[in-house]
Amino acid sequence: MNLNSFIFLLIYYSFARYLPVSYSPLSFSVVKPFRGYICKHIFEKCGTNVNIESNVFFGSGVNIKIGNNSTIGINAYIGGIGSGGRLTIGNNVMMARDVVILTKTHNFENVYQPMNTQGGENFSVTIGNDVWIGARVIILPDVVIGDGVIIGAGAVVTKDIPAYSVVGGVPAHLIKMRC
């Protein structure tokens, strides 16, 4: 991370994160573009008209790509702490509040060593274009979500989801196809 990114990360976590939601009358239509501008200097790639809502946590923002017209909802936790794994979010993605996207796991293979000392592994999560992710969805590491997918509120995504699927549940399972 370079000094410029670090300064914008500091600005984000010191106060921009706590500004009102984009649709609040108190945002005066400047909060959404302001947070988007900050994230352009933090993320690996940040498209146009991106909406990062209030209180989103994205670690250092390293290895995060987000496409045009996409929203990360209120209180979302995305990526991993530090350099974590890679997260790619496509264009026109709607993400509701309290979504958790994990890109890092703990190792646990050695039963003679405490798990918290075994380190972890970084993975990628890829979210296609035109995806709707409901409130409180959890997306686990090493998952690819296809274009046009709808994920119902509260679902836990543990494996890849084919394009134009509607999924829900714990673990998430196919409800129907959109086409």
Pair 101, 125: CB distance under 8 Å: yes
Pair 55, 68: CB distance under 8 Å: no
Annotation marks residue 106 as catalytic: yes
* Chain centre distance of CA 132: 12
* Alpha carbon distance, N-terminus to C-terminus of the chain: 43
Catalytic residue among 1, 24, 106, 177: 106
Pair 125, 88: CB distance under 8 Å: yes
Q: Among 61, 14, 12, which residue's Cα sits nearest to residue 35?
A: 12
Q: Among 68, 88, 67, 69, which residue's Cα sits nearest to residue 78?
A: 88
DSSP 46: E
- Distance of alpha carbon 5 from alpha carbon 3, whole angstroms: 6
Instruction: Write out the catalytic residue numbers.
Output: 106
